[in-house]
């Protein structure tokens, strides 16, 4: 399938999705959102992909949602735009394959929200993060008010959202918004190294681990432990579990088949 605002590359079991709208600093308009929606549907259906890297072309990861498009919206149109963006980001969050955000520059507004729906965030030392929407007379609209406090805590999230503050990569890492900060030239190598390491593990076990974490974080501890037990048990019905433990006992590298 062809894309006008995305570049899709596959390197063995890793898929790299680059948002390619550099003249607008990769701003999220309806076209970009629709193409992300289609791309992640394709990725979900491709059993040859075990991990995904999401990044931006040019100087920005995503500098925000497209203000020129939003400026003429009424309340109903604004709600529909927010709901669609949130649904696309939720699809990325629930993808049964890990997604790494390689944040190469500005990740503001919708860009910060896009990074937050990924499993892991690696940032260039030049990256900037923030939710500056209240300075434009709106709230974050693509689930930023929900994911940011879950990642950094409600107090810090309220500070960043209420003040429209923008922070650098080092501060983002300090508060837990980012997993790791690298030099700009090393960003994609770091992301690829991590993605390849994930892709070398048993895909079913990685998928179930993601489900256990995501579902467990939204419920009480006893229910979460039960969710984990169910998924742990399901692993034992897979060929990969047999191969992984056999390889360990035979002191060799496993050959996982995603079965």
Catalytic residues: 113, 133
Instruction: Name 167's Cβ contacts closer than 8 Å, sequence gap at least 6.
Output: 128, 129, 130, 160, 175, 177
Please name the residue that has the structure tokens 């289609």.
38
Is residue 36 within 8 A of residue 43, CB to CB? The reply is no
E strands, the chain, where? 6-11, 14-19, 51-56, 60-62, 99-103, 106-108, 120-124, 128-130, 166-168, 180-182
Integer Cα distance of 50 and 71 in angstroms: 39
User: Smallest Cα–Cα separation from 30: which of 74, 69, 76?
Assistant: 69
Instruction: Name 49's Cβ contacts closer than 8 Å, sequence gap at least 6.
Output: 10, 13, 14, 15, 43, 97
User: Smallest Cα–Cα separation from 147: which of 184, 107, 181, 183?
Assistant: 107
Measured from the Cβ of residue 243, the count of other Cβ atoms closer than 10 Å reads 16
Integer Cα distance of 19 and 9 in angstroms: 12
């Amino acid at each position: 399938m062809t894309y006008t605002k995305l570049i899709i590359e596959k390197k063995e079991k890793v898929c790299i999705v680059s948002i390619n709208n550099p003249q607008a600093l990769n701003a999220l308009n309806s076209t970009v959102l629709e193409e992300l929606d289609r791309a992640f549907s394709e990725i979900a259906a491709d059993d040859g992909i075990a991990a995904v890297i999401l990044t931006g072309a040019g100087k920005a990861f995503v500098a925000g949602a497209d203000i020129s498009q939003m400026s003429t919206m009424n309340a109903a149109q604004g709600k529909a735009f927010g709901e669609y963006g949130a649904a696309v980001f939720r699809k990325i969050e629930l993808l049964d394959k890990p997604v790494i955000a390689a944040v190469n520059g500005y990740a503001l507004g919708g860009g910060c929200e896009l990074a937050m729906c990924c499993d892991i965030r690696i940032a260039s030392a030049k990256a900037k993060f923030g939710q500056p929407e209240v300075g434009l007379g709106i709230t974050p609209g693509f689930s930023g008010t929900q994911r940011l406090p879950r990642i950094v805590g409600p107090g810090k999230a309220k500070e960043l959202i209420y003040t429209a503050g923008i922070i650098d990569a080092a501060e983002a890492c300090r508060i837990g918004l980012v997993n790791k900060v690298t030099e700009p030239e090393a960003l994609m190598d770091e992301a690829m190294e991590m993605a390849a390491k994930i892709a070398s593990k048993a895909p079913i076990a990685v998928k179930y681990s993601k489900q256990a974490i995501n579902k467990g974080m939204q419920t009480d501890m006893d229910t979460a432990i039960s969710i984990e037990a169910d998924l742990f048990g399901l692993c034992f019905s897979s060929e990969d579990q047999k191969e992984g433990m056999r390889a360990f006992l035979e002191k060799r590298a496993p050959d996982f088949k995603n079965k």
